[in-house]
Chain A
Amino acid sequence: MERRVVITACSSITPIGRTKEEILHNLVHGISGVKALREDGLLSPYIHSKVFGTIDYPIVYDFKRQHRKTMGPVAYYACQVAKEVIEGAGLDQAFVTSGRLGVAFGSTHGSPTVQRDIYRTFFGASRTEFSTIGAVDYLKSMVHTTAVNITKMFGITGRVISSCTACTTSSQSIGYGYEAIKYGMQDAMLCGGADEYDTTTVAVFDNLLACSTAFNDSPHLTPRPFDTKRDGLVVGEGAGAVMLEEYGYARKRGAPVLAEVIGFACNNNGGDLILPNLNGIRDTIRIGLKDAKLNADEMDFISAHATGTKMGDVIEAQAIYDVYGNLPGVVGLKSYMGHTMGSCGAIETIIAIYLMEEGFIAPTLNLDEIDERCAMINHVAKLREHPIRVATIQNFAFGGVNTSLIIKKMP
């Protein structure tokens, strides 16, 4: 049995805003959410990259203490977007708690802020005879903290999937959620990802010489996917969630339908854990198309992973060209907000839906001079009025994990 799967609500917390209007405004006006890296009193002085995709606007949470007590910052982000998609989809409490709704939600590594506090207890000067690790620190920091804080807050009793594959976390969430509905295991899945402000991730990429360092004095000019002056990725924070539902159920209850998920693929490069791999990426794109039962020439828009690294962008451009040629418009949305890690797949999917709804393609920011090694594909360097019927969201992660999601506009 194969069932159709639709997206009935979406919500995000991004460095370029919360609402569709804010996000589109920043896309249209080329406004970046990359700012100076905040001081953390620990690692930031030693990190060469001084830029970060930053959430610097207030978010009002109205969570009860009963729920707050097991939440670190990443779970606040996750539960807020989860709340908004449950409300946006209009699902009633009886359905939410029925077991027919599951959760697929993850983050790169739980809450590093809370983990850091735990380590302070062991290594800090403030050690006392009292245990200073809170009873709930594990619940706040564990890698599946986002998924289970969501289930707790809303009483969700369906299956739980909590991917933690860094950059592919939330595209896996959506993909595995889609499969759970498609094959009849759940009728709806709340899917997404989140990552909080964290300098350990920046430090790791910095040590690998993968972070941008040449634009520390002008953060908005980096990252620069596919541009000749790109010098690495910019880590960021954020959250994104979508509600997936079985099409028949969504239609029957008159739910808003934003788009249909028609394909998903996930594979591994089967080797190196860091280097991008042309064969692996090309394969995942092809498997995604096969799952969607689409020909390559039916694709209108590609949200590329496009982190702005020297090698990654070249390999991705080549893979796109090999499968799609130079027809679909290609955009690197990370150019606006940096790499929001566990949330990037969901955020990019949500932005793809917004562009689909509005009928234009926002350009890759900072793409002033296209690297000739990336020039074979159809870059969108200026805002382009263009109807999008089918879009794909590509993400690739450390560990050699690749994903391809394909969504389609509903008639």
Chain B
Amino acid sequence: MTRDEIITQVLVFFRKEFEIENPGLDDNLREKHGFDSIDAIELLLKIEKMLGYELTQEEKKQAMDIRTINQICYYIESLARTRPVLPSSGASFI
């Protein structure tokens, strides 16, 4: 998946699930859009489905410092580099 594809999917997910419309890629999601720790956990669940495998506790903890859409995309890219997206996952949030 390219960075653009990831961004597109993340933004669609944010609109559908979090009702956050077109956030700036470097917006602080917590401060500007009320994205809280509960949302972060929900997001991780979606990322697991997107990648097709369960994340380790360590990987999940790394996500707790994420504040922006760009950071989310970088996080997904890093995971995908470590463990490639499984073909069966459909590589999609949706």
- Residues of A bordering B, CB below 8 Å: 64-66, 69-70, 129-131, 134-136, 139
Contacts and interface: CB of A to CB of B under 8 A. Distances in A.
Interface stretch (B3-11, B48-56, B69-77): B48-56
Q: Which of B18, B38, B41, B53 has the most C-beta atoms of chain A within 10 angstroms of its own C-beta?
A: B38
Given A65-B18, A66-B34, A134 B54 contact: no
Interface of B: 18-19, 34, 38-39, 41-42, 45, 48-49, 53-54
Contact of B48 (A66, A70, A130, A134): A130
Contacts of B45: 130-131, 134-135
Contacts of B48: 130-131
A368 B21 CA distance: 60
Given A65-B19, A130-B48, A135 B53 contact: no
Contacts of A134: 42, 45
B61 to A, nearest CB: 14
Nearest to B46: A130
A interface secondary structure, majority: loop
B54 A70 contact: no
Nearest to B43: A135
13 contacts: A65-B18, A65-B19, A69-B38, A70-B38, A130-B54, A131-B45, A131-B48, A134-B42, A134-B45, A135-B38, A135-B41, A135-B45, A136-B42
Contacts of B39: 69
Contact of B42 (A66, A130, A135, A139): A135
A129 B54 CA distance: 7
Contacts of A135: 38, 41-42, 45
Contacts of B54: 129-131
